[in-house]
Amino acid sequence: MKVVTLGATRGIGRSLARLLAARGDSIHVLGRNQEDIAKCAEDLKVRGAAKVSTGLCDLMAPSIFGPALEAADADLGGFDTVILSAGIFGTQNELAEDRARAAAVLTANFTNTVLFCEEARVRLLARGGGRLAVFSSVAGERARKPVVIYGSTKAGLSAYLEGLDHLYRAQGLITTTVKPGFVRTSMTQGLKEPPFAGDPDDVAKTVLSAILRGAPVVYAPSMWALVMMVIRLLPRAVMRRVTF
């Protein structure tokens, strides 16, 4: 594959990029920090990527999405896969007290993620299709007390990605919505760990398998599909009382 990835410098995105490199795929790494991007690129080269190129792209700066993807297209000789794992997290307590942080989470995780996907969608459809894999979250499955604001961004994103799948799969755009549960990364450091927590490398394997087979949705770790099915069925009166 010829992959453009935004979010590969850390966490699940880094583990996933390493798996792609081991397959011998060509990878264009986008990110906002030049030093982090350079380190990531060197790591992927060592791990076997057929080609590695880089470019600057900040999820908070939508004006550069198009140019960044154009540059990636030129470097890869035409990309066929786009993976977006970047985003911003905040606990409900934090976001309820910090309006600026809440605005950043809302903007990055929904508005600008959708705008980036639209830029990718147009380019992929213009060449007959391709793969678009985007990280949402199980936090968007059901409104819950600890993730009111963050979860709402992921709920909106999941709805958008499902809509893309309905609208464009017949035209060749294979959209995969990735819904991680709790994964041990820097984003979750310091948070209370729930049951069924996953490690980035294991989660990345599940995600890559889903991308390759064109699954529209993937829960990772897979146990979260069952967990969220149960949570979706709980009455509202119960959800008002629980704290998870």
Active-site pick, 150, 160, 168, 219:
150
Query: Token digits for 224?
Result: 């979260």
Question: CA 137, CA 102: separation in Å to the nearest integer?
Answer: 17
Query: Token digits for 194?
Result: 């729930």
Confirm if 199 and 102 have CB atoms less than 8 A apart: no
Question: CA 96, CA 181: separation in Å to the nearest integer?
Answer: 22
Question: CA 106, CA 135: separation in Å to the nearest integer?
Answer: 15
Is 168 one of the annotated active-site residues of the chain?
no
Q: Which of the 8 DSSP states describes residue 132?
A: E
Numbers of helices and strands, H then E, in the chain = 10, 7
Confirm if 223 and 208 have CB atoms less than 8 A apart: no
Q: Any idea which residues carry the catalytic annotation?
A: 150
